[in-house]
Amino acid sequence: MTGLRPAAKLAELRNRPLPGESAAYAEARKALLAEEIAVRRHLTRLAEQRQALPDGPVVQEDYRFRDASGKEVGLIDLFGERDSLVVYFQMYGPERAQPCPMCTNFIAGVSGNVVDIQQRAAFKVAARSPVERQQAVAQDRGLPPIDFVQSLGDAFAIDHGALDPDDGAESPALIVFRRDGDVVRYFYAAEMPAEAADPGQDPRGPVDIAPLWNVLDLTPQGRGADWYPKVHY
């Protein structure tokens, strides 16, 4: 992006002062607005850089899944009519009494947008648990229909960092695939390691994909240091 006006200059155009705001508040808001403009521009650059990635590797493994109808399908079948496929792998192994609360929160947040997302890309939520268990949680939360699939075997989870083969610990995974003719290529995967977390912060990648945190970050108390969502309240 070239020829952009300085963010501080654009912040001066703020034209909706709040009733009764002080001069100090107005100046602080303009400074904050300049930072928000800079972040917006950086997010745009991130998206452009991501979309300009060279061809990713071809998926060699024949990963198998079971869909809501009980049919066994391959990875390429999950695309449907789309050329892009987004897979969110939630922490809900068959040994768990309930899924990860954070995974459940993300699924709840994205569920209202699935119909729109699917106009551009296929979107699946996968887990090691049967589809029926995943659907039961969604129905209990009153969520709109979501395309759940069960990964058959542990290869998909292990290969994408969602299952530690040594201790059985689960992690979430977000992977984007691209159909290239008769083969499937990797396009993008969330790869931020826990070790990359800044001091005092939970590990998280850019940009937070859970609307929960984006909304709470707008509040005076923020997201807090020790509060997390639950599956049931």
Higher pLDDT, 195 or 131: 131
Rounded percentage of the chain residues whose pLDDT exceeds 70 = 99
Does 57 reside within a domain? no
Q: Averaged over 209-224, what is the pLDDT?
A: 88
User: By residue range, what is the domain housing residue 150?
Assistant: 64-189
Question: Quick one: 84 and 135 in the same domain?
Answer: yes
pTM for this predicted structure: 0.90
How many domains does the chain contain in total? 2
Q: For the chain, how long is the longest CA-to-CA vector?
A: 64
Question: Quick one: 20 and 68 in the same domain?
Answer: no
Does 228 reside within a domain? no
Does 116 reside within a domain? yes
Query: Per-residue confidence at 41, pLDDT binned at 50, 70, 90?
Result: very high
Question: Quick one: 45 and 123 in the same domain?
Answer: no
pLDDT digits (tens, 9 = 90+) for 60-91: 999 999 999 999 999 999 999 999 999 999 99
Question: Quick one: 40 and 72 in the same domain?
Answer: no
Question: Quick one: 72 and 150 in the same domain?
Answer: yes
Does 13 reside within a domain? yes
Segment among 30-39, 104-113, 115-124, 205-214 with least mean pLDDT: 205-214
Question: Quick one: 28 and 133 in the same domain?
Answer: no
Does 11 reside within a domain? yes
Could you write out the DSSP letters of every residue in the chain?
--SPPPHHHHHTT---PPTT--HHHHHHHHHHHHHHHHHHHHHHHHHHHHHTPPPPPBP-S--EEE-TTS-EEEGGGGGTT-SEEEEEE-S--TT-SS--HHHHHHHHHHHTTHHHHTTTSEEEEEESS-HHHHHHHHHHTTPPP--EEEESSSHHHHHTTSB-TTT--B--EEEEEEEETTEEEEEEE----GGGPPTTS---PSSP--HHHHHHTTSTTTT-SS----S--
**Cβ count within 10 A of residue 43:** 12
Question: Quick one: 17 and 127 in the same domain?
Answer: no
Question: Quick one: 29 and 94 in the same domain?
Answer: no
Return d(Cα 77, Cα 147) in angstroms, integer: 13
Question: Quick one: 26 and 69 in the same domain?
Answer: no
Question: Quick one: 27 and 102 in the same domain?
Answer: no
Does 207 reside within a domain? no
Does 14 reside within a domain? yes
> Looking at residue 17, what is its pLDDT?
87
Cβ-contact 190, 173 below 8 angstroms:
yes
Return d(Cα 170, Cα 164) in angstroms, integer: 6
Return d(Cα 125, Cα 90) in angstroms, integer: 7
CATH classification of the domain holding 81: 3.40.30.10
Radius of gyration, CA atoms only, the chain: 21
